[in-house]
């Protein structure tokens, strides 16, 4: 365990950025999101949750897959270069890191997604324990410990100091790189903070949310056919806010951008909430917003767990709770079914 005075954080970032790309939560015109660090950036480690989850450091909102050029009848294809430099994402929370474990289940299973894999291999995660969890947090419901996030290095903000604990080989390597800025520390204060975080978590309004009836043992068709969906979806605006701020949503679209001198085929985040998501030339298999709404939650709480040994595709970060324009969210879904007898 090491520590560093918060006054030296800028020096630490500068030192990390010397050898790696560095992403940290920054306040840009009033909204806090992960962004490439430079000295001009307004780093904000106090805001608990960035608006967007940091998933786009690994699965960008938009990325070119390859380029195509046509020459008469001939076509040539040039794959986009993969991530080949190490980069550091600093300040991911426990829920965000677990979000990547969910994405891994999608992108790292056969056939492996090269683009995502390259970023996972080169990404170094410095996670930050949540000293002040907030009302919409319910990561504990998914077995996530906000006081002890996963990651390559785990840091704790305590008073004027930041405590630094490398937990993986990648983390050790990064620690060596910044060693001159760190001093040895004992674990007493960190242990005290961990206890404090656990105590706060136990008082969170959603901390005792029950997942009974969901997950890999859920009776899929009963849940699917429940009349409760018809009650729940009605106010839904069919926007993509919940999907785009979510750390685990991974649906994507593949599209073409005509550069005028060829075609860039890129992929971008898509939302199952959008009416054209399942649209094809001969029709659409989900024509109503109820069906689309149901799909999102059934996928997170039933389909995904059934395909992945019970792992939910939700990490309880609460971003959808905070950001839904009209106050809908996954917690309300879980509660409505609980009230309805978990059918």
Partner 1 sequence: MSECTCNHDSFYEDTLIPKVGVVTDIRQETPDVKTFRVVAPDGSKLFEHMPGQCAMVSVPGVGEAMFSITSSPTNKEFQEFSIKKCGVLTDYLHAMEVGEEITVRGPYGNNFPVETELKGKNLLFIAGGIGLAPLRSVINYVLDNRENYGTVDILYGSRSADDLVQLKEIQEVWMKAPNVNVYLTIDREQEGWDGHVGFVPSYLKEIGFDTNKVALICGPPIMIKFVLQGLQEMGFDKKQIITTLELRMKCGVGKCGRCNIGSKYVCKDGPVFHCDELDEIPAEY
Partner 2 sequence: MQRLIDRAKELLASGEVARVLGWKKGDLGFNPEPSYFETAESLDNDFVYDGFCGANLSKYMIEASKKDGKTLVFLKPCDTYSFNQLIKEHRVDREKAYIIGVGCKGKLDIEAIKAMGVKGILEVSGADINSDCETLTVKTLYGDKEVSYNDAMLERCHVCKGKEHQICDEVMLDSRDTKDAERFAEIEKIEAMSPMEKFEFFKKELSKCIRCNACRNVCPACSCRKCVFDSNKFDEATKANVDSFEEKMFHIIRAFHVAGRCTDCGECSRVCPQGIPLHLFNRKFIKDIDTFYGEFQAGEDSETKGPLTAFTFDDVEPSIVTERG
Nearest one of 37, 307, 5 to 164, comparing CA atoms: 5
274 binds partner 1 (CB under 8 A): no
d(Cα 270, Cα 250) in Å, to the nearest integer?
Answer: 8
Smallest separation (angstroms) from partner 2 to the CB of 78: 18
Smallest separation (angstroms) from partner 2 to the CB of 64: 10
DSSP 20-40: SEEEEEEEETTEEEEEE--TT
Ramachandran angles phi, psi of 97, nearest 5°: -70, -40
Q: Which pairing describes strands 62-71 and 74-79: parallel, antiparallel, or unpaired?
A: antiparallel
Q: Taking CB within 5 to 8 Å according to partner kind, which of partner 1, partner 2, none is near residue 81?
A: partner 1
Question: Total binding residues for partner 1 by CB under 8 A?
Answer: 57
Q: Taking CB within 5 to 8 Å according to partner kind, which of partner 1, partner 2, none is near residue 241?
A: partner 2
36 binds partner 1 (CB under 8 A): no
Among 5, 33, 278, 342, binds partner 1 (CB under 8 A): 278
Q: What is the binding site for partner 2 (CB under 8 A)?
A: 28-31, 33, 48, 51-52, 61-62, 132-136, 200, 203-205, 234-235, 237-241, 243-245, 253, 255-258, 266, 268-271, 274-276, 321, 323-329, 331-332, 335
Among 82, 192, 195, 219, binds partner 1 (CB under 8 A): 82
d(Cα 210, Cα 141) in Å, to the nearest integer?
Answer: 7
d(Cα 285, Cα 204) in Å, to the nearest integer?
Answer: 39
Q: Which residue has the tokens 């995660």?
A: 125
Q: Which residues touch 138 (CB under 8 Å, ≥6 apart)?
A: 204, 206, 207, 209, 316, 318, 331
Among 28, 68, 192, 237, binds partner 1 (CB under 8 A): 68
261 binds partner 1 (CB under 8 A): yes
Task: Find out whether 167 and 94 touch, Cβ atoms under 8 Å.
Answer: no
307 binds partner 1 (CB under 8 A): yes
221 binds partner 1 (CB under 8 A): yes
254 binds partner 1 (CB under 8 A): yes
Task: Find out whether 186 and 155 touch, Cβ atoms under 8 Å.
Answer: no
113 binds partner 1 (CB under 8 A): yes
Task: Find out whether 26 and 37 touch, Cβ atoms under 8 Å.
Answer: yes
Give the footprint of partner 1 on this chain (CB under 8 A): 65-66, 68-71, 73-79, 81-82, 84, 106-107, 111, 113-115, 220-221, 224-225, 250-254, 256, 258, 261-263, 265, 267, 270, 272, 277-282, 284-286, 291, 295, 298-299, 302-303, 306-307
């Amino acid at each position: 365990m090491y520590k560093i005075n918060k006054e030296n954080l800028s020096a630490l970032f500068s030192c990390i950025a010397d050898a790696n790309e560095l992403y940290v939560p920054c306040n840009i015109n009033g909204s806090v999101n992960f962004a490439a660090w430079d000295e001009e950036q307004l780093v904000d480690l106090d805001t608990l949750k960035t608006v967007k989850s940091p998933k786009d450091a690994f699965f960008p909102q938009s990325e070119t897959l390859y380029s195509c050029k046509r020459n008469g009848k001939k076509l040539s294809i040039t794959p986009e270069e993969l991530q080949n430099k190490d980069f550091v994402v600093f300040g991911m929370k426990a829920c965000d890191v677990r979000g990547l474990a969910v994405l891994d289940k999608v992108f790292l299973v056969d056939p492996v997604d090269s683009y995502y894999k390259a970023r996972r291999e080169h990404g170094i995660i410095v996670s930050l324990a949540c000293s002040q969890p907030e009302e919409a947090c319910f990561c504990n419901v998914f077995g996530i410990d906000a006081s002890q996030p996963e990651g390559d290095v785990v840091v704790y903000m305590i008073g004027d100091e930041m405590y630094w604990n490398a937990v993986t080989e990648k983390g050790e390597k990064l620690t060596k790189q910044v060693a001159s800025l760190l001093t040895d520390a004992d674990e007493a204060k960190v242990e005290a903070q961990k206890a404090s975080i656990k105590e706060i978590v136990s008082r969170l309004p959603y901390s005792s949310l029950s997942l009974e009836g969901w997950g890999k043992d859920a009776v899929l068709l009963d849940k699917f056919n429940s009349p409760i969906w018809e009650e729940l979806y009605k106010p839904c605006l069919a926007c993509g806010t919940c999907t785009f701020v979510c750390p685990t949503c991974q649906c994507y679209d593949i599209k073409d951008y005509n550069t005028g001198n060829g075609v860039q085929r890129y992929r971008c985040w898509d939302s199952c909430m959008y009416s054209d998501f399942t649209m094809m030339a001969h029709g659409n298999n989900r024509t109503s917003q109820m069906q689309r709404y149901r799909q999102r939650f059934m996928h997170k709480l039933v389909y995904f767990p059934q395909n992945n040994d019970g792992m939910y595709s939700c990490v309880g970060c609460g971003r959808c709770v905070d950001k839904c324009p009209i106050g809908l969210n996954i917690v309300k879904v879980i509660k409505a079914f609980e009230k309805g007898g978990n059918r």
